[in-house]
């Protein structure tokens, strides 16, 4: 026990002796490895939160996001608490955050920066947190969330209220399961509500025997379909949900033929 106390006292003494502005010793920064060799792991399901993006009488869409605490935890795990630092700067009236990682091979700090957006509450705090999270995206923390599918929860699976011409919900959602492919892209996803009922599922894609270019619609076909959607007023979410796909780019020629045929039989939306 005395040996441990002596070692801790020695480390504390070294920290006190270090002059302000001096860089940490390489072995104390990232355990002797350069930052370019550090591997930022993928987010776990319990580290991802769901936020309502749009809502109407037909249902709502969700976005996946991470909070600043998750960023801090992963930076600590990957680079150690002494191997990274953050600073904030005002540039042209906007708040930027710079996250720096200590590279022990180059013996220097490597910086990546991004700007924050204004929060509806606690403006300065919101900008600081948002700019930090965006800077962490630049370091690869949570970047896989950019590959999330379009997440639509139909009205039958969520409680929606209308008040003062606005649709709202008190339901809460969470990620129950998520997996990734070798390209660090989301390839499977399950979202449940507060009661644990499944409201959205993206199953792993099966390998197709067809070549990619033979199994998708052309830009012209996509344009024609979008024109029909606009003419009829049918929400694209309804078409995607009907054929159990998440975006138009996943539509096969067979699904396209059926969808276009159905839309052509629909009446033109009446002008408002």
pLDDT digits (tens, 9 = 90+) for 198-224: 999 999 876 545 555 567 788 888 888
Residue 60 lies in a domain: yes
Same structural domain, 81 and 115: yes
- Residue-range definition of the domain harbouring residue 85: 27-202
Question: Are residue 191 and residue 149 in the same domain, yes or no?
Answer: yes
Q: What is the pTM of this model?
A: 0.59
pLDDT exceeds 50 at position 194: yes
Q: Per the domain annotation, does 37 fall within a domain?
A: yes
**Pick from 122-131, 174-183, 229-238: least confident:** 122-131
Domain presence at residue 13: no
Domain boundary among 161, 181, 202: 202
Across the range 59-77, mean pLDDT stands at: 95
197 band by pLDDT with thresholds 50, 70 and 90: very high
The answer to whether position 233 is within a domain reads yes
Same domain for 78 and 134, yes or no, is: yes
Among 162, 177, 202, the domain-final residue is: 202
For residue 75, report the phi and psi dihedrals to the nearest 5 degrees.
-65, -40
CA-based torsion, 51, 55, 57, 58: positive or negative:
negative
Structural domain tally of the chain?
A: 2
Q: What is the pLDDT of residue 26?
A: 32
């Amino acid at each position: 026990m005395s040996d441990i106390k002596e070692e801790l006292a020695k480390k504390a003494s070294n920290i006190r002796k270090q002059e302000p502005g001096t860089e940490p010793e390489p072995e104390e920064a990232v355990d002797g490895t350069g930052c370019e060799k550090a591997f930022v792991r993928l987010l776990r399901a319990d580290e991802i939160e769901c936020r309502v993006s749009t809502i109407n009488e037909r249902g709502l869409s969700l976005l996946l996001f991470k909070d600043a605490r998750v960023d801090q935890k992963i930076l600590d795990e990957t680079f150690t608490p002494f191997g990274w630092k953050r600073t904030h700067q005002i540039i042209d009236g906007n708040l930027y955050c710079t996250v720096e990682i200590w590279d022990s091979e180059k013996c220097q700090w490597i910086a990546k920066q991004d700007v924050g957006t204004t929060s509806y509450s606690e403006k300065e705090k919101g900008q600081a947190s948002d700019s930090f999270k965006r800077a962490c995206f630049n370091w690869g923390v949570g970047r896989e969330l950019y590959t999330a599918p379009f997440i639509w929860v139909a009205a039958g699976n969520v409680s929606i209220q209308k008040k003062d011409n606005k649709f709202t919900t008190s339901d809460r959602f969470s990620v129950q399961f998520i997996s990734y492919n070798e390209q660090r892209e989301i390839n499977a996803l399950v979202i449940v509500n507060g009661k644990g009922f499944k409201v959205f599922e993206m199953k792993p894609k099966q390998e197709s025997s067809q070549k990619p270019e033979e199994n998708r619609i052309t830009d012209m076909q996509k344009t024609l379909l979008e024109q029909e959607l606009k003419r009829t007023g049918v929400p694209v979410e309804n078409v995607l949900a009907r054929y159990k796909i998440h975006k138009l780019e996943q539509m096969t020629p067979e699904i396209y033929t059926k969808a276009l045929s159905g839309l052509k039989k629909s009446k033109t939306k009446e002008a408002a």
